[in-house]
Amino acid sequence: MIVIPKVQNLEHPPNKHDLILLADDHISPESIEGLRSAGWNIKRIRRIRSPQSRKNSYNEWNYSKLRLWQLLDYDKVMFIDADLIVTRSLDHFFTHPQISAAPNNKEIFTSGLMLLEPSLWLVRSYNGGDQGFLNEMFPWWYRLPKKINHLKFFRSDGGHEHQIADDAYALHYLGMKPWMCYKDYDCNWDKAATQRFASDSANERWWRVYDSMPEKLRRFCALTPVADARIRNNRVKAKRAKFGDGHWRIKVKDLRQIQLSWLYIRVYKLINLK
């Protein structure tokens, strides 16, 4: 759950800005308590479904972020997507107008991090689209530097390191998320289709934040059996394909994987005792 380490890594004092997390009823009570413990103020919302998305697709409920414009208690809101971590203070960007965001390309902005001004008129105008809809409603958007929403995306190989710039304000973790990988390396290296999202330096930065978290919060970033099985399978395929980056050769030392292995053994013994 990336929003827990994210709040641990916000560099401005907790009382300078309210930290609001929009949560729908699909988030469990246990997770809500974990989020509160991490410092988030929880605001419950009803999700908004995209009429053009397929059922169970990754973007089926992306338009729920339009609920941001209903936060009428605030003059300005800095939206930060759930798969980002903030590495530098964003305070001075609050002086910019609505909508301020980093460019996705030469013409449109990415809605993963944006400054907005709550108002019900936009919610009432909604008729279809998250990022496309917002770009239509705000053709005059203010262009922020790309480093405010540094996408973990590499258009060319550029070696096997895929380094992240030190001056990035926030890192946007595209592809497989760090907590869905082993701590030892970015598991996006293990699939040809996701290598453009792979970055060991970005992965290491996320895990440094994880290591700084209280022990009681780390369990929300535990490795699941499904994630472990997927990683193992992809590592085998990467080895067979002899990927040149060689990450599949790395000996895994992630304690979460070791703990999961012990769990497998215990379950196996219990099954065989019956």
Task: Dump pLDDT digits (tens) for 40-79.
Answer: 999 999 998 887 778 888 778 888 888 999 999 999 999 9
Least confident of 125-129, 164-168, 217-221: 125-129
Confidence at residue 199, expressed as pLDDT on a 0 to 100 scale: 93
pLDDT at 161 over 80: no
Q: Which residue has the higher pLDDT, 78 or 121?
A: 78
Confidence at residue 129, expressed as pLDDT on a 0 to 100 scale: 47
Q: Which residue has the higher pLDDT, 164 or 94?
A: 94
Confidence at residue 157, expressed as pLDDT on a 0 to 100 scale: 56
pLDDT at 264 over 70: no
Tell me phi and psi for residue 177, to 5 degrees.
-80, 155
Over residues 168-195, the mean pLDDT reads 94
pLDDT at 12 over 70: no
Confidence at residue 241, expressed as pLDDT on a 0 to 100 scale: 97
pLDDT at 190 over 70: yes
pLDDT at 265 over 70: no
Over residues 80-102, the mean pLDDT reads 91
8 A C-beta contact, residue 68 and residue 77:
yes
* Rg of the chain, C-alpha, whole Å: 20
pLDDT at 1 over 50: no
Distant-in-sequence, close-in-space partners of 227: CB < 8 Å, separation ≥ 6: 180, 181
Give me the residue label for tokens 């996408």.
151
Domain at 3-150: CATH architecture: Alpha-Beta Complex (3.90)
Q: Which residue has the higher pLDDT, 123 or 108?
A: 108
From residue 205, alpha-carbon distances to 17, 84, 255 in Å are 24, 12, 18
Give the global pTM: 0.82
The full set of domain ranges for the chain reads 3-150, 152-273
Tokens linked to 37: 């413990």
Confidence at residue 119, expressed as pLDDT on a 0 to 100 scale: 87
Nearest partner of 150 among 96, 91, 88, judged by Cα: 88
Name the β-bridge partners of 94. none
Confidence at residue 266, expressed as pLDDT on a 0 to 100 scale: 47
